Structure 1
């Protein structure tokens, strides 16, 4: 074999060194994935459930005339505050006055006949049957006059309580009918937030529970309230139950019909573990999973979990996790099962 020249030896050594470097590079471990962790804890037993609802008045009082007649005057407008006994509206009284005058005339005639014939009966100059006839005629005349007077009085419509005029359904010249509301009074010094609660949650709500009502129309102002009514009849289509939360409304700023958000405290509603929503991922089959890191080994393990419900500050996990597990909440999308991680401070 011929002796190798110095340049040839240098070339061979360079090739060997390059081959060794490439082989070493191919065996290099992937860099640990930087992650942030969250320590699993029990879900707070005091959870708050939110519902949408509407405001309604505490009491509605529809008022109607007792007789058919033409409306002569309406003295109030919608939104006006009225006192008990205040005159709200009246009917034209022409016909009723005539009927009352006629009934009074008949009563006066009957009274005159009775006064003249009563002494004759007492003296034995008038048969008893005739006396009874006159006495009965007087009683009938008095009753007819009383009915006519009531008809005249019923031409006036008065407020039955202190309240606001919620709706005015009549104007002068219209025909008012009995049992058809002419003016509706509402009481709003106390109002109700009325919401529908799903059937699987209604058993957790009882009268006296505290609630917070937020009204967007009033600048998202919050009002503290109390559950005052819990319905017992379900909506046959929606399978929900109506509940009412009472609110003090001394300033009358809350109006019936306003949309509101109601948050009710439900003790003991959630008994699982709490996990941040962003920590829970979904695989290609639709199953929920998380990455749990053992700080001692700095390895991320995929764990499948079951979700119980949505909470105000995360998700309720009912299976798949242990208390004090460390979940990946940042960098989880770059992980695979058993990946090495580098834990970053929170």
Structure 2
């Protein structure tokens, strides 16, 4: 009896131990499973803040910007008209001069002496002619003697005229108003006839020479206004006008020399400065134009995004002319479309958007 009771107690203990072991294993695996898994949350669609601009027809200008070089309105190399010593220079570099102003004297002392001798000789023949005419009237001399003195007076007058011309050639005068850009000789130097003494420039107006491609020159005409930008004056625009278009193009470059003239009353634009000229080829009155930064280039495809019912929609577009920060859209957009102009690089087709 005691053995049976002992056996039952041992069996119950064994069963209890097995049950406890199984419960422990179950609890262990349950905790491991729950600790390795995060709680699932509901998926929330991504929404991007955007700014839109409604597409409306507007005017856009088809323009071309071409480089050029500024030149003086007038540039004159004043050369000596007679050989001799430079006796006087009346100007310095940078001086303003007026038309007809004497700026240099060359050998005028000797030329002046020659002119004085010629004038004295002419006056002598004038006096002799008057006396001979009285003698002829009194029939004291023959007509042949009177004719001879008349001929000598004519020769003296011509000699005086030549002497005055030579003297005037020694006075170097400004042919136009302007500034002395370069002085090439000094007082006391001997110069030959034809030697350049002074370089004179007029910059009250400036010429800009531009080489215009043959595909663009057909849009231009003399008298057409243009805008000129000078690299030395960033952010400033100057008004100009087309003054000349070459009738014959450069066979090597297929360009046509086009001259633009602009006022320069303050003289701040100087010859040699780099300029850029904005030529108007044509005006498109009802173009669909968008901000240039809103255009996206992906692998050669040009895309924009529009907002439709709270979603971003991609549109493939065909572009036209560019005017500064605007670009014409030929195909792909329509009036009234809501173009995404900010946030467009953060969206894809179908992205939910919030219009700000």
- The TM-score, its normalising length taken from structure 2, stands at 0.68
8 A Cα contact 1:193 1:245, kept in partner: yes
8 A Cα contact 1:194 1:245, kept in partner: no
Deviates more, 1:55-64 or 1:327-336: 327-336
| SS state at 2:232 partner | helix
Distance 1:248 1:334, change over 3 A: closer
Is 1:343 the counterpart of 2:356? The answer is: no
Is 1:324 the counterpart of 2:336? The answer is: yes
Match of 2:274 among 253, 259, 265: 259
Q: Following TM superposition, by how much is the alpha carbon of 1:51 offset from its aligned partner in structure 2, in angstroms?
A: 4.2
Is 1:66 the counterpart of 2:76? The answer is: no
Is 1:170 the counterpart of 2:182? The answer is: no
Query: What's 2:320 paired with?
Result: 308
Q: Following TM superposition, by how much is the alpha carbon of 1:328 offset from its aligned partner in structure 2, in angstroms?
A: 5.1
Distance 1:192 1:120, change over 3 A: same
- Cα RMSD after superposing both structures: 4.4
Q: Per-residue CA shift, 1:234-275, capped at 9, x if unaligned?
A: 5412514424242352x4333333334445667615764223
Match of 2:243 among 221, 225, 229: 229
Is 1:268 the counterpart of 2:283? The answer is: yes
| SS state at 1:254 partner | coil
Deviates more, 1:152-161 or 1:205-214: 205-214
Q: Partners of 1:241 and 1:117 in 2: how far apart? A: 68
| SS state at 1:187 partner | strand
8 A Cα contact 2:226 2:242, kept in partner: no
Q: Following TM superposition, by how much is the alpha carbon of 1:64 offset from its aligned partner in structure 2, in angstroms?
A: 3.6
Task: For structure 2, list consecutive stretches of 5 or more residues without a partner in the other structure.
Answer: 1-21, 31-36
Q: Following TM superposition, by how much is the alpha carbon of 1:288 offset from its aligned partner in structure 2, in angstroms?
A: 3.2
Deviates more, 1:166-175 or 1:143-152: 166-175
Distance 1:269 1:115, change over 3 A: same
The within-5 A match list for 1:211-250 is 211-218=226-233, 220=234, 222=236, 224-227=238-241, 229-233=243-247, 235-236=249-250, 237=253, 239-249=255-265
Task: For structure 1, list consecutive stretches of 5 or more residues without a partner in the other structure.
Answer: 1-5, 15-20
Query: What's 2:301 paired with?
Result: 288
8 A Cα contact 1:59 1:188, kept in partner: yes
The within-5 A match list for 1:51-130 is 51-104=66-119, 106-107=121-122, 110-111=125-126, 114=129, 117-118=132-133, 121-122=136-137, 123=139, 125-126=141-142, 128=144, 130=145
Distance 1:172 1:238, change over 3 A: farther
Distance 1:312 1:139, change over 3 A: same
Q: Partners of 1:242 and 1:80 in 2: how far apart? A: 31
8 A Cα contact 1:35 1:328, kept in partner: no
Distance 1:227 1:198, change over 3 A: same
Q: Following TM superposition, by how much is the alpha carbon of 1:341 offset from its aligned partner in structure 2, in angstroms?
A: 1.1
Match of 1:155 among 143, 149, 170: 170
8 A Cα contact 2:77 2:196, kept in partner: yes
Q: Partners of 1:78 and 1:238 in 2: how far apart? A: 40
Q: Partners of 1:41 and 1:245 in 2: how far apart? A: 37
8 A Cα contact 1:272 1:308, kept in partner: no
8 A Cα contact 1:208 1:226, kept in partner: no
Q: Following TM superposition, by how much is the alpha carbon of 1:281 offset from its aligned partner in structure 2, in angstroms?
A: 3.8
Query: What's 1:144 paired with?
Result: 159
Q: Partners of 1:293 and 1:157 in 2: how far apart? A: 73
Query: What's 2:33 paired with?
Result: none
